[in-house]
């Protein structure tokens, strides 16, 4: 009976093709999906292309990048956005090499010739460790999204508070502002909040979401939210129509839009 296939892929790296083939054949019979590589350069490419790789099984002594240098390169690629575990294979059990490898991030090591059943037990342990690290990475991503959402909600509450205190519908002609800011706000914009008006004016200047976020001190996601609100509340279809409605040279357009 075939064993269930693991969600975790194993990157098998050794400069000896026969060893790679034997390891992959054994591990695939045991329910693992393998990505065979015969060089560190190829391993880096495969790892970058396949985010399902959660375990790196590699020889220590290889031409080009050795096993330690390879894992360090993969760590730099992963950063804080991806988790993986590493097991070292070595034909020479040099104590200093082992210590160096463990300090570099290897979770375990096995000496050649390898006892495949012991290796299988070790892989099962590292799969559990990988799954736990995956959860931590996913929680980190979720926390970041919640932070963005919290910032957006905070900005909206600030706007609501400003509206309750009294809307600001126009800018004084004496202020040192551009023509877009000096133009009389069409009636269709009168029910927007102060922050929504700020965003609308900056859209009228042709600024990108990123530029607006920097100028107003809010997140880019919050700017997108405000732009969507302004378009919906003014019954406009896109940023271009909004920008034209706020341009001094398009007062006729503004009247048509207001009458919509």
> Do 133 and 210 have their domain in common?
no
**pLDDT of the residue at 40:** 95
Sign of CA dihedral 189, 193, 196, 202: positive
> Do 13 and 135 have their domain in common?
yes
pLDDT band at 240; cut points 50, 70, 90: confident
Residues present in the chain in total: 260
Whole-angstrom distance, CA of residue 75 vs CA of residue 33 = 21
> Do 178 and 225 have their domain in common?
yes
Last residue of one domain, picked from the residues 126, 141, 156: 141
In a domain, 69, yes or no: yes
Q: Are 148 and 221 in contact (CB under 8 A)?
A: yes
Q: What is the mean pLDDT of the chain?
A: 81
Residue 253's CATH number: 1.10.10.10
pLDDT per residue as tens digits for the range 52-76:
999 999 999 999 999 999 999 999 9
Percentage of residues of the chain with pLDDT beyond 90: 40
Last residue of one domain, picked from the residues 141, 175, 190: 141
**pLDDT of the residue at 95:** 84
**pLDDT of the residue at 165:** 59
In a domain, 1, yes or no: no
In a domain, 219, yes or no: yes
Reduced DSSP (H G I as helix, E B as strand, rest coil) percent helix, strand, coil of the chain, to 5? 60, 10, 30
In a domain, 147, yes or no: no
Q: How wide is the angle at C-alpha 105 spanned by C-alphas 99 and 111, nearest 5°?
A: 55
E strand or H helix that includes residue 108: strand 108-111
Lowest mean pLDDT among 38-52, 76-90, 131-145: 131-145
pLDDT band at 152; cut points 50, 70, 90: low
Containing structural domain, residue 46: 9-141
**pLDDT of the residue at 56:** 97
Residue 1 has pLDDT above 70, yes or no: no
> Do 136 and 39 have their domain in common?
yes
Whole-angstrom distance, CA of residue 11 vs CA of residue 214 = 42
**pLDDT of the residue at 14:** 96
> Do 133 and 13 have their domain in common?
yes
Q: Tell me the range of 15-29, 82-96, 137-151 where mean pLDDT is highest.
A: 15-29
88 DSSP β-pair partners: 58, 109
Q: Looking at the 3D structure of the chain, how many domains does it have? A: 2
pLDDT per residue as tens digits for the range 185-201:
667 777 788 888 888 88
> Do 136 and 172 have their domain in common?
no
Average pLDDT over residues 14-32: 95
Residue 170 has pLDDT above 50, yes or no: no
Whole-angstrom distance, CA of residue 103 vs CA of residue 126 = 17
In a domain, 89, yes or no: yes
In a domain, 150, yes or no: no
In a domain, 158, yes or no: no
Average pLDDT over residues 145-170: 62
Label residue 108 exposed, middle or buried (CB < 10 Å: 0-12, 13-18, 19+).
Answer: middle
HSE-CB at 133 with a 13 A cutoff on CA atoms is 19
pTM of the predicted model over 0.75: no
> Do 172 and 106 have their domain in common?
no
Q: Are 254 and 186 in contact (CB under 8 A)?
A: yes
Average pLDDT over residues 106-134: 92
Last residue of one domain, picked from the residues 141, 158, 191: 141
Q: Are 200 and 230 in contact (CB under 8 A)?
A: yes
Residue 51 has pLDDT above 70, yes or no: yes
Torsion, Cα of 156, 159, 163, 168 (10° steps): -140
Q: How wide is the angle at C-alpha 188 spanned by C-alphas 246 and 155, nearest 5°?
A: 80
In a domain, 159, yes or no: no
């Amino acid at each position: 009976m075939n064993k269930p296939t693991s969600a975790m892929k194993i990157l098998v790296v050794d400069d000896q093709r026969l060893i790679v083939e034997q390891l992959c054949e054994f591990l695939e019979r045991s329910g693992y999906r393998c990505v065979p590589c015969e060089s560190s350069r190829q391993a880096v490419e495969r790892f970058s292309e396949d985010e399902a790789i959660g375990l790196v099984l590699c020889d220590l002594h290889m031409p080009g990048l050795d096993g330690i240098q390879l894992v360090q390169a993969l760590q730099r690629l992963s950063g804080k956005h991806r988790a993986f575990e590493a097991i070292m294979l070595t034909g020479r059990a040099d104590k200093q090499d082992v210590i160096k490898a463990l300090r570099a991030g290897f979770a375990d090591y096995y000496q050649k010739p390898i006892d495949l059943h012991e290796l299988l037990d070790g892989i099962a342990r590292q799969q559990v460790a990988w799954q736990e690290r995956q959860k931590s990475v996913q929680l980190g991503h979720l926390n970041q999204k919640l932070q963005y959402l919290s910032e957006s909600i905070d900005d909206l509450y600030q706007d609501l508070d400003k509206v309750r205190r009294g809307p600001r519908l126009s800018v004084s002609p004496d202020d040192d502002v551009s023509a877009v800011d000096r133009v009389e706000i069409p009636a269709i914009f009168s029910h927007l909040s102060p922050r929504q008006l700020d965003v609308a004016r900056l859209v009228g200047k042709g600024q990108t979401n990123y530029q607006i976020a920097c100028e107003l001190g809010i997140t880019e996601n919050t700017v997108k939210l405000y732009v969507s609100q302004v378009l919906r509340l003014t019954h406009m279809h896109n940023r271009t129509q909004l920008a034209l409605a706020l341009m001094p040279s398009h007062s006729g357009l503004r009247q048509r839009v207001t009458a919509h």
